[in-house]
Amino acid sequence: MPIKIPDKLPATAQLRKENIFVMSEKKAMHQDIRPLKIVIVNLMPTKIATETQLLRLLSNSPLQIEIDFLQMDTHESKNTPSEHLATFYTTFDEIKDSKYDGMIITGAPVENLEYEDVDYWGELTRIMDWSKTHVTSTLHICWAALAGLYYHYGVRKELLDEKIFGIFQHHTIHRKTPLIRGFDDVFYAPHSRHTDVPVEKLRADDRITILAESDEAGAFLSMAKDGRQIFVMGHPEYDRMTLDQEYKRDLSKGLPIDIPKNYYPDDNPDNRPLLTWRAQANNLYTNWLNYYVYQVTPYDLDGTPDLAEFTRFQKGGADIAK
């Protein structure tokens, strides 16, 4: 089934070029089905590119999905046209009385700041608090994962001596957990961050379960509350050339930046990078939508999510292939 997004959203044309089934709002109205309602809190400066990246992954599912994009009312975006935001985005005050099957909070280029110094921190904490009662499952990406772990569990980030930047190998843990169903023993994913929550801190907190980690890049995927809160430290949604764009952007600004690890063939920026993480990224988002959103969300969003299902899956009730 398709994702339901506005026809004039820039991502729509790109996704259709990739033969991804995007449904118009008009056609969706004629289907007698309740789509999953997902709200995306897009904190990235490259909002339009991020929209396409996330919608591509969300489309790889048999479920019909309706998307709302949320911007921070307390922050002025400098890199996205105001017309785009006015047309396709809403604010928290406009949706706070609504309920959603799922929420995604993206990364943001503010990791060197203390959380309380981020201009929209107060608004974001209201959203994270609201998610406890109004969202079935929330997926936090990169900086949002760090912020979520701090806000919900008091786990503090640490500034790294060297940026984690490149494509890193990870291995899975707790393989019977449905979120990593179908994952290979080892898989690859992009990282791009200056801060981290050490694996030891997460292991020491029995409220948090690590599902995948890297010897080089640390924890990649963790969850809490049986999947109501999921934390992705990397950027599996990134396109083939996203790290290339970040690398060349920083070079042009004269910022200290190393070549992204394990990315360019022969470490030569003139060589086209290999796309080695898309399959696992699709798997992650499909599993999230299926097991942690669709399987447990009530048909009537004013109802209560079936948390017993979360617990059953978390304890290995699903028949997972090894």
- Active-site position among 84, 191, 235, 246: 235
The three state secondary structure string of the chain is CCEECCCCCHHHHHHHHCCCCEECHHHHCCCCCCCEEEEEECCCCCHHHHHHHHHHHHCCCCCCEEEEEECCCCCCCCCCCHHHHHHHEECHHHHCCCCEEEEEECCCCCCCCCHHHCCCHHHHHHHHHHHHHHEEEEEEECHHHHHHHHHHHCCCCEEEEEEEEEEEEEEECCCCCHHHCCCCCEEEEEEEEEEECCHHHHHCCCCEEEEEEECCCEEEEEEEHHHCEEEECCCCCCCCCHHHHHHHHHHHCCCCCCCCECCCHHHCCCCCCCCCCHHHHHHHHHHHHHHHHHCCCCCCCCCCCCHHHHHHHHCCCCCCCC
Q: Does 194 qualify as catalytic in the annotation?
A: no
Q: Does 162 qualify as catalytic in the annotation?
A: no
Contacts with 79 (C-beta within 8 Å, 6 or more apart), sequence order:
45, 46, 47
The CA distance from 28 to 135, in Å, is 23
Give the rounded distance of the alpha carbon of 246 from its chain centre: 18
Q: Does 237 qualify as catalytic in the annotation?
A: yes
- Active-site position among 142, 152, 170, 191: 142
Degrees to nearest 5, angle at CA 91 with 24 and 66: 25
Q: Are 67 and 2 spatial neighbours (Cβ–Cβ below 8 Å)? A: no
- Active-site position among 66, 111, 123, 237: 237
Q: Rounded to whole angstroms, what are the CA distances from 13 to 8, 274, 314?
A: 8, 24, 38
Q: Which residues are catalytic?
A: 142, 235, 237
